[in-house]
Amino acid sequence: MQYRKLGNTGLKVSAIGLGTNRFGSKVDENGVAEIMQVAMEHGINFFDTANVYTDGNSEKLIGKALKSLPRSEVILATKFYMKVGEAPNDRGGSRKHIMDAVENSLRSLQTDYIDLYQYHRWDQDTPIEETLRAMDDLVTSGKVRYIGSSAFPSWMMATAQKVSQAHGWNQFVTEQPHFHMLERKVKEEVLPAAAYFGIGILPFFPLAGGFLTGKYKRGEAAPVGSRGEDSSYVQRYMTDGNYDLLEKLTAFAEERDHTMGELAHAWLLAHPQVSSVISGATRLEHVIANAKAGDWQLSEAEFSEVNEILEK
């Protein structure tokens, strides 16, 4: 496993991170404990969740699993912003909601600090100064080590950084975008902004919900139990054009004794702004395969060839 700096910080995270948005739905308590243990054994030290994943159960199951893991070796990330209740302040970027949310996450995770606390979405109803000041207070209090954003366009990234710089507050060190081989829009402005500000990119859904593993075949029903059976997210990629692309990329990977899934991860990691690829797992074999993908470092020639395939 290779390790990279989290943005411009000195913190080292595994190039492959573990996404946990299905802990508590597809994975039960015992499964979560096993997956996290095996992930650590394969060099994965970065675990990403959010307070709304599976209605908060993801955080709770991670908290239980953490009891049997060395907490100092785990880099734990979670998020706030989304609706967590019916009261008017049970969502958003206000100081009140942030302070309530962090305390709830700390209890659920059964820890006294969060390594990376991420603003899940920009709240148009709250001044960014209020949000950033509250997040800065969390860092100075020791409850949070670093802060980041998620799904921010470049102008939001720039605004947040400039506001924090002006006030001398802690700045966002990461941005978590929807980014994979079939979703490349972030390359236009988000990646350049990240490079300028020293922000680490944490791509989520790197395998397009499993489509980029190659397990879905043209003209065939989705495998039983797979996301592709009923997920509109996966099904939207099931086009003739994408299948053509997938066949070319799979051939490229197999010629080099790698899988399509490994290529999808390696391609993301070939972008220097990427700190860690957040890859979900519901079974042990997923974890092992994802960890292995982090070992493949594309050469410049290979990266260029893959980009040429994608752009055509």
**Which amino acids are annotated catalytic?**
53
Report the b/e string of 279-299 with b at 16+ CB within 10 A.
bbbbeeebbebbbbbbebebe
d(CA 303, CA 59): 36
Crossing angle of the two packed helices 154-167 and 190-197, in degrees rounded to 10 = 20
Place of tokens 């051939």: 251
Give, in order, the Cα–Cα distances in Å from 172 to each of 7, 146, 149, 188, 232.
9, 7, 7, 20, 32
How many residues in the chain? 312
On whether the CB atoms of residues 146 and 11 are closer than 8 A, the answer is yes
Contact 111, 71 (CB under 8 A): yes
Q: Cα(9)–Cα(225) distance, rounded to whole angstroms? A: 40
Cα–Cα nearest to 63, from 113, 109, 17, 115: 109
Over its C-alpha atoms, the chain yields an Rg (Å, rounded) of 19
Q: Which long-range contacts (CB under 8 A, 24 or more apart) does 234-238 make?
A: 234/208, 234/209, 234/210, 237/182, 237/208, 237/209, 237/211, 238/211
Hey, what are 148's tokens? 């980041």
Q: Nearest CA to 56 among 95, 37, 83?
A: 83
Instruction: Return the closest-CA partner of residue 266 out of 292, 289, 293.
Output: 293
